[in-house]
Amino acid sequence: PTEPTYDAIFSPPLLSYESRDNVVALHTPREVRGRSLVLQGHVDVVPEGAADMWASPPYVAVIRDGRIFGRGAGDMKGGIACYLQAFAALRLAGLQPAAPVQMHAVIEEECTGNGAAACLLALPRCDGAIIPEPGPGFDALYTAQVGVVWAWVTVSGRPAHVRDMQAGLNAIEGAQIVAAAFKDYEARQNAAERIHPAFRGVNHPVNVNLGTIEGGEWNSSVATRCRIGLRVGVMMGYTAAETRRDIEALVAEAARHERLRGARVQLEFKGFMADPCVFDLESDIIRLARRAYADATGGALRDYPATGLTDGRHFLTRGTPTAVFGPDAQDIHGIDESVGVESIHGCTRAIALAMAEWCGLETATGDSVG
């Protein structure tokens, strides 16, 4: 196995970064009296899937039954709206944070996390961070999250006319053998003894998804080549690097299958190479998030050990206490994605209260944000 050569905080990129920028707003107080804060969210979204299956156009925000529908409404334009309006609410009240505040709108949370990583390397470290990622149908506080590795496998077979199928080697069928090996790995990783205590009680926390497949040329030709893209979850207690080595081993083993004799099987890693993490529930920022949400809404954030991931891991790597909590979203990455309007209101008020207590307040000026 070969060790990855990229910087530990970055994942192998999928695309060029030319003309694809993060947007950052910086607030500077007249006098620093409180603790500095990052408010962060991602602006990228996943594809809409089958647009004809949506009840309304996926890229048009539609309010229906107390919810905003559209791709990215929950994941996570709603969260960005929460922190922007929280800051604006303080200004409308004639106040502003008495500590530096960074507002990050970043790219690539959905495939690498490199947008968040770039901001953290370019900007001063803050005393705390709030990321209003959505909850799964309820207002949630993230307690832990899995890591993720993206892998791509290309099987090159031997084309033939369908009348001579036995002389050929079907790359699509070969890719199915490789995909089955990944599902066997998934089953092993979900064995009870492998599950970290932070995920106990979560059904099937380590997921392997066959997300894309491209292959074949003609219905009457034995397929020459097939490429599959997979997302592999990483349980707390394991690392992305260890998972990469596991994937290298399982693909090498699958390539020795008798039905793949004579095929070429190539493995590459592009996209997520992300470690799992557990958030410190006793940290000041998380205690404050719980208290501010209760004061703002009269309710309580529900703990959520996430079987997906957020950019929160990057802040923990840099030693920044982080609270990931956000509004009620439904069907993210699916059809008819939505976020609750009242949930956005509640999380906005909670972030405003948390920012006021964390940073302190001073009388607003006209040019504090650049």
pLDDT in tens, 83-96: 999 999 999 999 99
Which pLDDT band holds residue 356 (cuts at 50, 70, 90)? very high
Q: Reply yes or no on whether the pLDDT at 9 is more than 90.
A: no
Band (pLDDT 50/70/90 cuts) for residue 80 is very high
pLDDT of residue 103: 99
pTM: 0.94
pLDDT score recorded for residue 7:
53
Q: What are the tokens at 353?
A: 């209260």
Say if domain 148-274 classifies as CATH 3.40.50.450: no
Cβ atoms 323, 131 nearer than 8 A = yes
- Residues 6+ away with beta carbon under 8 Å from 241: 3, 4, 273
For a pLDDT cut of 90, what percent of the chain falls above it?
94
Report pLDDT for 4.
39
Pick the CATH number of 23-145+277-363 from 3.40.630.10, 3.30.1360.30, 3.50.50.100, 3.30.470.30: 3.40.630.10
Phi and psi, residue 32, nearest 5°: -80, 115
pLDDT band at 365; cut points 50, 70, 90? confident
* Mean pLDDT along residues 236-248: 97
Query: What does the pLDDT read at residue 370?
Result: 52
User: What is the mean predicted confidence (pLDDT) over 301-316?
Assistant: 98
Q: Report residue 6's pLDDT band, with 50, 70 and 90 as the boundaries.
A: very low
- Positions of CATH 3.30.70.360 in the chain: 148-274
pLDDT band at 366 (very low <50, low <70, confident <90, very high): confident
Does the structure show a pLDDT above 60 at 5? Answer: no
